[in-house]
Amino acid sequence: MNRYKKIIFFFIIISCSYHGLTAFTFPKANFIEYDFNFSDDERLKQVKDLLETNKTEEAIQKLYQLIAEAEKLKDTNLIIEGSLLLADVYRDNGDYKSSNKQFYKLLPLIKENNNYLQILYFKKGGNFQKEGEIDSAMVNYKNALFYSNFFNNNEDLKAKINANLAGIYYLKEDYGKAIEHSKIAANYQKILGNIEIEAGILNNLGSIYFMQGNYKEALNVFQQTFKLVGFGQEDLQKQIRRSSYINSAYAYSGLKQFQKAFEYQDKYISLDDSIKQELKYKEIAEIESKFKVASKEKEAEIEKSKRLEAEYLSYGLGFSICILLILLFVLYKMYKLNKKNYTLKIDQKRLMHQSKIEKLKSDSQTKILAATLDGRLEERKVIASVLHDNVSALLSAANLHLFASKKQLKDQVPVEINKSQKILNEASESIRDLSHRLVPSLLLKFGLSIAVQDLCEKSSNSTIEFSCDTKNITRFDQNFELKIFNIISELVNNILKHSNANNATIKLEQLEGQLQLVIFDNGKGFDLNEINDGVGLSQVKARINVLEGIIKIKSSTEGTRIYISTPIVY
């Protein structure tokens, strides 16, 4: 008899596989969303309208503007709601890190508001869950559940938190906790009257019992699911019923009740075939509907073309006459313009000649400025070398002589020798610092990448943070490295002095023989027409021209972006 049951169970699996079923329907740990009800602020409504019409970039831009205005006005509620919506936009587009970044910024504002805290932790847990970081997701869901307990009429969110926690515990194979939270979630959905959602949670609960090997309890839960959905013909009800049928078949097979397993397996196959057939009918009906619409549109196009053809014939003659009159008028005007063009050509040649002269002057000035800067660079290198190699060495030698004298005098060392040593040490440190300021030692020893990273670190402070990203940067010609470093230093100084930014980034990359530099910040920007005559920017442009590179600057109230590309000198 046992052998007969095993053969029956084997045929159940073969039959299920034939109908497209390859495994037991286990509970899913998918993230269940909770929609936050925003206020009636018109600007938030405009942003949501943009999102609904797939204008995501414009919506994000307006949200950042809205949050900035709210921060100026110290409108805390608008800051919170705008940031929550911005976090949702990032999440919907798959950028979970940026979404969580918005939540981290919000925490100091809502630390006393339990309602916002439960929503924030719930959504943050969802982001971690979607990235597969289930431990972080669990911590945030638990926090959300803690703050939700402060509210009595919040069953919907509590249900979703518990449902998501059940999924997390299921992934961690903690079936006891998964069952506990599934029951809580199902009970809240029962209170809310969401029968189909309650049935879906119970179906998952039965699947967890099955994983425990508790087949009887699993069957009891599946029977509750059948009672909830009944024989309803809505798509969701059919899907839940189909899933419960096959789950019951597996549970009965686990209890060795193969006849019952076959019965529920047949119900599953019958309902599955019915659902697939309905989908085919819907597809066919949709195709027929589209064909009829296309046919009517084609008939309308034919009628429209006939009407247009008649209109074209009636307007054709009048249009031709108009064209002829216009041509005559144009010929007359051309005759008069030819006379003016002759004098204009002479003026243009004069202007072009003058423009060439101005360009030559500009190029000469640029070369003179670049030569001056190169001269300064060489002068600084020489001074730094003299200070480091000669003066510093002389001071060190003097200090050694004083040290040797102290050894000979032993306990009878005059105070003047100690003071002299102290003065020599201070002089050595001052000369070393001056030498490093003239030509950075990190640049000479380790190259451009390390020197720029050090510059970013030293330039960062409590009001602005510089980040650095370098790719494929090797060692280049020393003078070339110094020139590029001086350009970067000048641009960093401009950001520190004028931008009022709190975030700036330097990107440096070696690509196909070109050194590409991008510097951008989120400051107030500047007017390119007004700043072009600045000494610092002129020096930068002069160096780029001499290096046969290009520089492009874009600036607005949202920040400044400077792109530089120049051939590498090895």
Segment among 121-130, 197-206, 383-392, 520-529 with least mean pLDDT: 383-392
| pLDDT band per the 50, 70, 90 thresholds, residue 26 | very low
What Å distances lie between residue 388 and 314, 385, 403, 427, 447, CA to CA?
93, 5, 21, 12, 19
CATH of the domain at 169: 1.25.40.10
Indicate if 188 and 157 belong to the same structural domain: yes
The answer to whether residues 128 and 178 belong to one domain is yes
Cα angle 177, 178, 180 (rounded to 5 degrees) comes to: 60
The mean of the pLDDT values for the chain is 79
**β 503-511/465-471 pair status:** parallel
At residue 554, the pLDDT reads 92
Domain end marker among 112, 131, 162: 112
Residue 517, SS3 per DSSP: strand
The partner residues of 471 in beta bridges, in order of sequence, read 509
Structure tokens at 465: 């943070």
- Reduced to 3 DSSP states, what percent helix, strand and coil does the chain have, rounded to the nearest 5? 75, 5, 20
pLDDT over threshold 90, residue 517: yes
Give the distance, in angstroms, between the CA of residue 357 and the centroid of all CA atoms in the same chain.
49
Coil, strand or helix at 458: helix
Residues 121 and 41 occupy one common structural domain: no
- pLDDT confidence bin for 434, thresholds 50/70/90: low
**Which residues, including other chains, have CB under 8 Å from residue 436's CB and lie 6 or more apart?**
384
124 shares a domain with 73: no
Burial of 533 (0-12, 13-18, 19+ CB in 10 A): exposed
66 within some domain: yes
Domain count of the chain? 3
- Contacts of range 327-331, beta carbons closer than 8 Å, 24 or more positions apart: none
Same domain membership, residue 556 and residue 449: yes
Residue 396 lies in a domain: no
Range of the domain at 543: 444-567
> 462 with 541, same domain?
yes
Residue at 42 is within a domain = yes
254-305 tens-digit pLDDT: 888 888 888 888 888 888 887 787 767 666 666 666 666 666 777 777 877 7
Average of pLDDT values for 127-154? Answer: 88
Q: Clarify whether residues 537 and 467 are in a common domain.
A: yes
**Residue 44 falls within a domain, yes or no?**
yes
Contact 564, 517 (CB under 8 A): yes
In a domain, 303, yes or no: no
**Which of 141, 164, 193 is a domain's end point?**
193
Contact residues for 130 (Cβ-Cβ < 8 A; gap 6+): 31, 91, 96
**Same domain as 124, residue 105:** no
Tell whether 100 and 128 lie within a shared domain: no
Residue 464 has pLDDT above 60, yes or no: yes
151, 81: one domain: no
Higher pLDDT, 313 or 71: 71
What number is the average pLDDT over the span 41-62? 86
Does 461 reside within a domain? yes
Same domain, 448 and 553: yes
Q: Which of 140, 55, 58, 128 has the alpha carbon at shortest distance from 97?
A: 128
C-alpha to C-alpha distance for 40 and 501, rounded to whole angstroms: 32
* Residues 282-292 pLDDT 10s: 666 666 666 66
Residues 51 and 122 in one domain: no
CB 129 within 8 A of CB 31: yes
| Percent of the chain whose pLDDT exceeds 90 | 14
451 to each of 233, 398, 436, 494, how far by Cα in Å?
70, 32, 12, 18
With respect to residue 50, please indicate whether it lies within any of the assigned structural domains: yes
Q: What are phi and psi of 257, to 5 degrees?
A: -95, 75
| Backbone conformation region of residue 484, classed left if phi is above 0, alpha if psi is from -120 to 50, else beta | alpha
Q: Is residue 218 included in any domain, yes or no?
A: no
Q: Of 165, 193, 221, at which residue does a domain stop?
A: 193
Beta bridge pairs of residue 565: 516, 550
- Number of Cβ within 10 Å of residue 158's Cβ equals 21
CATH number of 492's domain: 3.30.565.10
